[in-house]
Amino acid sequence: MIKNKHVAIIGGGIAGMEAAAVLAKQGLKVTLIEKEAITGGKLNDWHHLFPDFFSPKTVIDNLIAKTNHSGVNVVYNTEISKIEKLNGRFELSDERDTKFYSDAVIIASGFRLFDATLKEEYGYGIFDNVITSVDFEKLMKTEGKLLTAQKTEPKRIAIIHCVGSRDAKTGNTYCSKVCCITGIKQAIEINKILPDSEIYCFYMDLRLYGLNFDSLYLHAQKQHKIQFIRGRLSEIAERFDKSLQLKTEDTLQGRPLRINVDTVILLIGMEPGASNNLFTKNNKVTIDENGFMKPINMHENRNSSTHDGIFLAGTVICPMAVNESIENARAAAFEVISYLEKNKL
């Protein structure tokens, strides 16, 4: 009977919650281990989801309800740093040496946000009018308005794509994939609250992979007069009046472009979680060349790590949108069930 089996899930973000709820509903004993005092992870900071402006709060509330009803044991304020296989079972421990035992493990510890202060030429943390896409979501959620540091309404806003993504200089050569559509969504939101402002998106490629993403792009251009300029931003400097001078090339015109704006939003990418490296110790879990968790096969089995019995869910594998993380977690739960059934003797 696999119902007596125990599954430990590291990370109480949306992927961990979904996987936990699915497994508990199947009657397994599930412990969901979250490092913060609440579940929901980084989505707690988010205001609206692309491409339909859906509420992230609804997503989290539903997941909390599902985990509660299915009987998941949620442990808070606990950050797992070590996974070991002992006598056929897994031993998970944190820095305080709190231990958890299970028959299977799902790592759903998510991603880390790119630290925009490392991209010094963009002036984040140096110039007050440079904020990140995450700062913007938090601002929208808490204050519902966008002002400059001088407390004026910005007349020109620039949204910068690929910050900490596809950039050997920051060590991240991969595409974070969700930033392009996030930028378009945020541009529309700004236009809604500041209809007279000019909004520019500076991009290298618009990677709009999802259904309806392109129609949101069209909508941004037609209804919201967002201007898209193909050119990667080279630098941001602060002018005497605290406005910002941007340098890029309009590559479709083939001319360098210098433009002054009041506010800049940096679309920061997703990086491998800080704990990924720790998890590779004491077992056979591995990471890929970018530092994300490596599945045994990216086509047929993205949820199995290179260690038997340790599974992966959500953005610990690669950058994903909310819907993909949830679906991916559900698939991980199914893989865990298959594994436990195969190994029930």
Q: Which stretches of the chain bind other proteins, using CB under 8 A?
A: 115, 117-118, 120-121, 126, 162, 166-172, 204, 230-235, 237-240, 245, 247-251, 254-258, 272, 277, 286-287, 289, 291
Q: Helix (H, G, I), strand (E, B), or coil: what is residue 234?
A: coil
Residues contacting residue 64 through CB under 8 Å, at least 6 positions apart: 17, 39, 40
DSSP state of 231: -
φ, ψ for residue 97, nearest 5 deg: 70, 25
- By C-beta, is 130 or 332 nearer to other proteins? 130
- Residue 298 burial by CB count (10 A; 0-12/13-18/19+): exposed, middle or buried? exposed
- By C-beta, is 14 or 116 nearer to other proteins? 116
Supply the minimum distance, in Å, between the C-beta of residue 310 and other proteins. Answer: 17
Residues contacting residue 121 through CB under 8 Å, at least 6 positions apart: 234, 235, 236
| 37's tokens | 């005092």
How many whole angstroms separate alpha carbon 338 and alpha carbon 198?
A: 54
How many whole angstroms separate alpha carbon 194 and alpha carbon 236?
A: 23
- By C-beta, is 61 or 235 nearer to other proteins? 235
Supply the minimum distance, in Å, between the C-beta of residue 47 and other proteins. Answer: 28
Supply the minimum distance, in Å, between the C-beta of residue 246 and other proteins. Answer: 9
Supply the minimum distance, in Å, between the C-beta of residue 49 and other proteins. Answer: 28
Q: Answer whether 336's CB lies under 8 Å from 24's CB.
A: no
Please provide the distance, in angstroms rounded to a whole number, between the alpha carbons at the two ends of the chain.
Answer: 9
- By C-beta, is 170 or 283 nearer to other proteins? 170
- By C-beta, is 222 or 255 nearer to other proteins? 255
Q: Helix (H, G, I), strand (E, B), or coil: what is residue 257?
A: strand
Supply the minimum distance, in Å, between the C-beta of residue 180 and other proteins. Answer: 14
Among 216, 146, 139, CA closest to 180: 216
Supply the minimum distance, in Å, between the C-beta of residue 80 and other proteins. Answer: 20
Cis before 319 (ω within 30) = no
- By C-beta, is 234 or 282 nearer to other proteins? 234
- By C-beta, is 195 or 254 nearer to other proteins? 254
Supply the minimum distance, in Å, between the C-beta of residue 214 and other proteins. Answer: 21
Identify the sign of the CA torsion 288, 294, 297, 303. negative
- By C-beta, is 193 or 274 nearer to other proteins? 274
How many whole angstroms separate alpha carbon 113 and alpha carbon 116?
A: 9
Neighbour tally for 200: CB within 10 Å: 21
Supply the minimum distance, in Å, between the C-beta of residue 191 and other proteins. Answer: 25
